[in-house]
Structure 1
Amino acid sequence: MAILSPTEQRAGDGPASEAPHGDQRATTVGLWGWPALATMALAMYRISEPLLGRDELTSWDMAGRSFAQVLATVRRVDAVLGTYYLVLHAWTSLLGDSPAVLRMPSAMALSGAAACVALVGRRLFGHRAGLAGGLLFALLPGVSRFAHEARPYGLVMLAVALSTLLLLRALDRPGSPWRWGGYALGLTAVGLFHLIALTCLTGHLVLVAMRARRERRVWWGMCSAVPAVALALIPVVVLGRQQTERQIWWITKPEAWGLLDIWPQVFYSGLCAGTVLLLALVALAALGERRDAVVFCAVSAVVPVLIIWALSHGHVSYFYFRYMLFTLPPLAVLAGAGLAAAARSRRAVAAVLALLALLTLSDQKALREPLAHYWAGGPDFAAAAEVIRKNYAPGDAIVYNRVEEEAISLGVRYYLPRDLRPRDVFLAASPVQRDDLAATECAEPARCLRGEKRIWLVAAGNTPDPLLGLPAGQAAALRAHYRTSWAERPSGLAVSLLVRTE
């Protein structure tokens, strides 16, 4: 049989085992438990060290809004991430908004994804292949990177891996409506966390088509599950389509080279990408007796990327590496099978995994640097906030240069003490008041000044005159009444103190 039966799954890689039921259960727990623990250990290591990235600051902002405010905002912007924002709102309401707390759902989700990878690998290729795939997934730098990201990508990978596992369970008993219902819920979760990840359905359809050669009932289950998923996702699809141009206008149309260049970005390591893809090729060459399983994994990993690449040559481009992270679970399953086929003993598998961990150590270390969530360095919001905190005087106000860097106000506010909130001089309506992600600033800046003796100015870059980047009206209003007393320049930012001249 191309895909292992339940008896073969319990037995491992050989014939049916005579081991007691308790031993089988312990073996199963170890199969998914070790990858989950390894992923969580790597995820928790220095999880708070990197400063929050721009998108993470948006997640923090949305999580701090009420349930009704989140719903009102996603009607205008970010509808495709609405489910994630609601989850994060509930989570932070209970546990606070520290970097570790904000990122913990991603860390836990990826630990669950590693467990699912191992269980899927066992069903498709046997026990040793499943364990190798799960541990390989845990070691990927891309997994560690997005375990430290307060965005939905970790939950997307979990939903994709879990829906695959639920599909395999449904195929074991194609007449069970409960199992197909579970699969439909898993696939719905994929779409709720990221619509583009629903391209994983291509692999699922290929698997169902191959299984239907022996059991035609599987089509009935699939044809009942997929329409139910589509119906549940209609509101997200409609709103997301309306908001697409505003949300991802900045993604460029990919060239042919992008189909190769995308993989080092997805893995966050060129070496790791090459190793995993090589092991996947080994599986393709060595596992002919499990052709259905190999084809399923290969299609699940590669075809969605091709589809997204093709669609990105239309009106809007979707070809961004983060949107394809959901291909990591099927790639890990296939690479785990290749590793188990090439390394015939557990010690050999362990040696290869240890070598991969050693070779990617520098990649893992780089992911935990303070500015790791920014390409080529970035604005050090924590340092800027510390400058203001140390030198703050009661009555101080603040100006953020939102033209140069939209996230400046969010970043500085996040790292300032919660009881230190200088008046935002040129803010007319906050994003929360507007049910949006962007603020509205004063139409007549001179009228927004209230005679403050001191105003902090936070701007991107290191220009000698930080007022140069401000809108003309704001710069003129400040020059008329203030002079720059002194300035400090933490990485990527200029923090200046303006004092009144009258």
Structure 2
Amino acid sequence: MTAYAQTPQTDPEQPEQHQEAEGRAARRRADSGGGKGSALLVFALPVLVALACVLPGLGGRQLWRDEHATWWASTLSWHYLGQLIDHIDIVFTPYYAGMHLWIAVAGDSPAALRLPEALAMGISAGLVALLGRRMFAVRTGLLAGLLFAVVPAITRYGQEARPYAFATLFALLATLFLLRALEKPSLRDWTLYALAIAATGFGHLVAMSVLAGHLGLVVLAKRRGDRIAHYAFAGAALLGLSITLPMVAKGSGQSGQIAWNTTTTQDLVDFPQELFGSWITGGVVMGLGVLGLLAARRYALLLGAWAVLPPVLTFLTADQLHLFLPRYLLFTIPAWTLLLAAAVTRLTGRLEPEARPGAVAKAVGGGVLVTAVAAGYAFVAWPAIGDAKKDLPMEPDYAAAANVIASGEKPGDGVIFNGGLSERRAISYELRDRKAPKDVLMEWTPQQNGSYGATECGQPTRCLKGVDRLWLVSTIADGRPPLTGADKKKAAAIDEDFKATRTVRLNRVVVQVLERK
């Protein structure tokens, strides 16, 4: 009777449980010995590749509107930053506070503003590799990390002063801590998991949807006989969520700030291209990633929920929450690359730590496969990586506009703005280290308003008195008069008292010199 009860443990007809036990034992042996060197190599190679893609040209592309908002908020005094987040963008409070400290040390050049994000993306590539190594095999982790490193969108948002790279980093850390806690439970790992969940929410609230995949993994652990996993997970998750709860509660009242984001069916069609940076790179990863669900076995639920559930939920709730934006969902790319790596490396044998006879031959074959697939994908992705470093074509060329003003500005000049693309904030950034004309129509500053926008003078004729020369910066650059859409009093005062003596048309922005008649 006893012998019969033990038979299923080694029955070749039911190998999966035995295989998982061997896999866990092999990972423990690897982690306790020379495997640490293997882990370091698996982590370091994707990090270096990612940084090789992201760091060159880090400051070459000029900042766009959202990055100007980062600069503006992060350079405010603590008092004015507090007023700002009390009205808007409270969900970015930790990021702005961190960037405030960073700018005090590193400065506010484009490269300096983006360096933290670039480093976060580099580390994320290494964490993807470590996850793949822990879940499947060394070759799987290495391939997943390298694929992640050369995704064009990783370069794009690794060169952007916004918090999406950090949301990706912390989602990866949370997943790694969860796997460690489930494999060998400890108070330290569950505490680190809770803190990583909180940090994920501080990176971006949408990234907390990675918890759905985590829950699936915990449910499977419970079914396999783990009696404490679900209790420990519930406690850690609730702790992490409670840390972010005040921010979430306050942020729910500020949701109108993204109401501009209306979603259509075409946005869903374009999602692979927008998420990955090009159609071919997104199509390859998502197409083969679906096949990876068959190879991922016990991790299929985790990776499937991580990759698919966030975009589905944000699309279905787009009319209410307005959160279906590819950059908000950047944290799902690691799951897709892990699925693709699992599908590809399954071709060279079972996805398990190399601790069996013939492991050397498999390792060589796996190394060749990893190199070939990663190099092929990098070759295909390289043009899109180059495009990711260029100025955004739909954004005004504020750097050139600022150069026009700086080269022709005279004492006593004023500057005015028209359009709806954050012209005042952008020109303030581009002229931050140079003498700028007085903003003659600004009556209440953004700091005083506790917002990103200023309040302009209600009596333009009075505010323009004594100014004989104006610089008009307008994003009405489609051939219509530059003051199209301006406040009627403002347009009338300028038309009555000033005439245009010079017009410079740039990409999506017009600079005019107006002199008093």
Q: Given the two structures, how large is their TM-score scaled by the length of structure 1?
A: 0.92
Aligned counterpart, 2:354: none
Aligned counterpart, 2:413: 396
For 1:264 and 1:495, the matched residues in 2 are separated by: 34
The question of 1:311 aligning with 2:317 is answered yes
The question of 1:299 aligning with 2:292 is answered no
Q: How does 1:402-417 map to 2 (within 5 A)?
A: 404-417=419-432
Q: How does 1:87-166 map to 2 (within 5 A)?
A: 87-166=98-177
1:62 to 73, 77, 84: 73
Aligned partners of 2:121 and 2:158 also within 8 Å: yes
SS at match of 1:438: coil
Name structure 1 gaps, 5 residues minimum. Answer: 11-15
Aligned partners of 1:63 and 1:89 also within 8 Å: yes
Q: How does 1:357-372 map to 2 (within 5 A)?
A: 357-369=378-390, 371-372=391-392
Change (3 A) 1:318 1:2: farther
The question of 1:190 aligning with 2:190 is answered no
Aligned partners of 1:81 and 1:192 also within 8 Å: yes
The question of 1:336 aligning with 2:354 is answered no
The question of 1:471 aligning with 2:476 is answered no
Aligned counterpart, 1:227: 238
The question of 1:272 aligning with 2:281 is answered yes
Aligned partners of 2:53 and 2:385 also within 8 Å: no
Displacement after TM superposition at 1:5 (Å): 4.5
For 1:235 and 1:295, the matched residues in 2 are separated by: 30
For 2:210 and 2:175, the matched residues in 1 are separated by: 9
Give the CA RMSD over aligned residues: 1.9
For 1:50 and 1:355, the matched residues in 2 are separated by: 27
- Spell out structure 1 runs of 4+ moving beyond 2 A: 1-10, 23-26, 257-261, 281-285, 309-313, 342-345, 461-470
- 1:177 maps to amino acid: L
Q: Deviations over 1:118-148 (max 9, x none)?
A: 1111111111100110001001001111001
Aligned counterpart, 1:384: 401
Q: Deviations over 1:87-130 (max 9, x none)?
A: 11111111100001111111111111111111111111111100
Aligned partners of 1:279 and 1:338 also within 8 Å: yes
Aligned counterpart, 1:348: 369
SS at match of 1:468: coil
Displacement after TM superposition at 1:173 (Å): 2.4
State the aligned residue count. Answer: 481
Change (3 A) 1:177 1:253: same
1:8 to 8, 26, 29: 26
For 1:351 and 1:128, the matched residues in 2 are separated by: 12
For 2:496 and 2:40, the matched residues in 1 are separated by: 70
- 1:161 maps to amino acid: L
The question of 1:430 aligning with 2:450 is answered no
Q: Deviations over 1:267-323 (max 9, x none)?
A: 0111111211233233223x2xx511122211211122222222224x333212111
SS at match of 2:514: strand
% identical equivalent positions: 32
Displacement after TM superposition at 1:354 (Å): 1.0
Displacement after TM superposition at 1:416 (Å): 1.8
Aligned partners of 2:409 and 2:437 also within 8 Å: no
Aligned counterpart, 1:13: none
The question of 1:447 aligning with 2:462 is answered yes
Name structure 2 gaps, 5 residues minimum. Answer: 1-18, 349-364
**CA radius of gyration, larger in:** 2
- 1:251 maps to amino acid: N
Displacement after TM superposition at 1:52 (Å): 0.6
For 2:210 and 2:268, the matched residues in 1 are separated by: 17
